[in-house]
Structure 1
Amino acid sequence: MICYKTEEEIELLREGAQVLGKAHGEVSKLIKEGVTTEELDKRAEEFILDNGGKPSFKGYNGFKASLCISVNSVVVHGIPGKYELKSGDIVTIDCGVLFKGYHTDSAYTHMVGEVSKELEKLLTITKESLYLGISKAVAGNRLGDVCFAVQNHVEKNNFSVVRELVGHGIGKSLHEAPEVPNYGKRGSGLKLQEGLVIAIEPMVNLGGKNIVQEDDGWTIRTKDNSPSAHFEHTVVVRKEQAEILTTFKYIDKEEE
């Protein structure tokens, strides 16, 4: 069942999204060579708790951390630990915040030190595909319009879209209906209505689209071990233009 949100609910989501955006900003300050992924996780959890929220991911189906931290060929659900970031790595920080009863969710892939031009392009195209998807999240469009916009941009730039992992509705639960794939056909699927809140999250691989799950039961990586990027925003479907609730402005000065 799809739960459309009232303006009062959207205001609470907006507040939580600011806490989430600032948590991303705090983590981004620490991303450099030699920092462990568990250090990043610790900072996010401290900041979220200090600002009246709770980490959405911690305890979710037994997940033990506040962030999913995915390095290089890890697509999603990487578990923070002792790994030390190296120059040339790409690292995705995926974070959710529960604030006043509502979840928001966003992800951002960072470059560590000097990365290859190929990886720079992967990140650029993935991020662009997110905003192209968001541009279609308008009342009267179909869900397939969002999905197609992401897929089309990714594939015309010779990257591949992960199929098994999708975006989602969000609100009182971290994952709500509908599912939001990163591939699809224009004009197909659910007709979008005002008040639908969804997390749109392209997951894009430098190589093939296939993925595998590691033995820890969480970590998803590319089957061919190629690097993967992931950007995500929580957005509200509106009449003229989608409203982006989450923000990258505390990470990325170009977003201000």
Structure 2
Amino acid sequence: MVFKRSIYKTPSQLRDMVAPGRATAASLDAVAAAVAPGVSTLELDVLAERAIVEAGGASNFTLEPGYHHTICASVNDEVVHGIPGRRILEPGDILSVDSGAILGGWNGDAARTFVLPDPAHPERVADRQLLSDVTEQSLWRGIATLASARYLNEVGDAIEEYILSRGDFGILTDYIGHGIGRRMHEEPPVFNYSVRAKGPEVRPGLVVAIEPMVVRGSQETYVKDDGWTVATEDGSAAAHWEHSVAVHADGIWVLTAQDGGAEGLAPFGVTPVPIP
């Protein structure tokens, strides 16, 4: 596989990517503290933007042509790219929030999924929480695999194997992860499922955004009339988790986790190492 430019960053460039990763994490922390029934997705957008600005950065989502918000807020059957607005969150909703920051010319990108409580419908909440948990754990398995992988596409093998082992879930194939650096979306592609190609070599300087998108029903999706929001054809619920991860000479570091990924990687015996 040949790439137009080097996909590997220098040690200095890896250090430059720490700050935008932290700013991205701060924006999602702000969202997490505010998610509740009765809150609008636009209110969450405002909080995310404020957190990024306070961290010294700016939203990189607003740099996408035609997009004017800090986050993507996707609710229930919406998988990704949902536009924040007046929609009020309701009990039992499953909400995926994608956010990114640019700072010093470098980018961060991450996503989390939240399931709102609903005492009136505990079974629906439990099922949606399982969907979110499976998606999140598949992400951490992918990151843990990256720590010892020889080739990048081993990550997709690990993600798919775990998701399929947990039950009847669909992995989106039309939307995948990506490299990240000076631009939010760079080479190489990062698959969330097994492919025949090995992908690029995993070695110091590789920085990728791993982002499994998983649905409770069919993998078929469509784009809504707003031109952005991707939703499931059958109306089934969806979840999305993402982290930007750097490989360096001493190990890996999850740029968009405040602890570098220590808590998420602990069950796999992987200890993230700060970028020197």
TM score, norm. by length of structure 1:
0.93
User: Residue 242 of structure 1: SS of its match in structure 2?
Assistant: strand
> Which residue does the alignment assign to 2:274?
none
The secondary structure found in structure 2 opposite 1:143 is: coil
If the length of structure 2 is used for normalisation, what is the TM-score? 0.86
Structure-to-structure mapping, 1:1-256, within 5 angstroms = 1=4, 2-114=6-118, 116-138=125-147, 141-157=150-166, 158-185=168-195, 188-238=198-248, 241-247=251-257
**Number of matched pairs:** 255
Q: Distance in 2 between matches of 1:120 and 1:143?
A: 29
Report SS of the residue matched to 1:106.
strand
Distance 1:187 1:136 in 2: 17
Bigger Cα displacement from structure 2, 214-223 vs 44-53: 44-53
Checking the alignment, whether the CA contact within 8 Å between 1:205 and 1:229 is kept in structure 2 is yes
- TM-superposed deviation, 1:133: 0.7
On the 8 A contact 1:142/1:187 being kept in 2, the answer is no
Aligned partner of 2:270 in structure 1 is none
Partners of 1:202 and 1:230 within 8 A in 2? yes
> Can you give the 5+ residue segments of structure 2 that lack an aligned partner in the other structure?
119-123, 267-276
Task: Answer whether contact 1:88 1:111 (CA < 8 A) is retained.
Answer: yes
Runs of 4+ aligned structure 1 residues displaced above 3 Å come to 238-241
Q: For 1:61, what is the secondary structure of its paired residue? A: coil
Secondary structure of 1:94's aligned partner: strand
Q: C-alpha distance in 1, partners of 2:258/2:211?
A: 14
Q: Following TM superposition, by how much is the alpha carbon of 1:240 offset from its aligned partner in structure 2, in angstroms?
A: 6.9
Q: Classify 1:174/1:184 alpha carbon distance in 2 versus 1 (closer, same or farther; 3 Å).
A: same
Taking only aligned residues, the RMSD between alpha carbons, in angstroms, comes to 2.2
Contact 2:59 2:102 in 1 (8 A): yes
Distance 1:125 1:97 in 2: 26
Question: Partners in 2 of 1:166 and 1:30 — Cα distance?
Answer: 28
Q: Separation in 2 of the partners of 1:152 and 1:30?
A: 34
Distance 2:165 2:189 in 1: 24
CA-CA distance at 1:59 after TM superposition:
3.5
Q: Distance in 2 between matches of 1:242 and 1:125?
A: 22
Shift of 1:190: 2.0
Matched AA of 2:137: E
Structure 1: gaps spanning 5 or more residues: none
**What amino acid sits opposite 1:74 in the alignment?**
E
Identity %: 35
Tell me the alpha carbon deviations over residues 184-217 of structure 1, each in whole angstroms, 9 at most, x when there is no partner: 1477222222111000000000111111111111
Task: Render the CA deviation track for 1:71-104: whole Å, top value 9, x for unaligned.
Answer: 1110000000010001100111100000111001
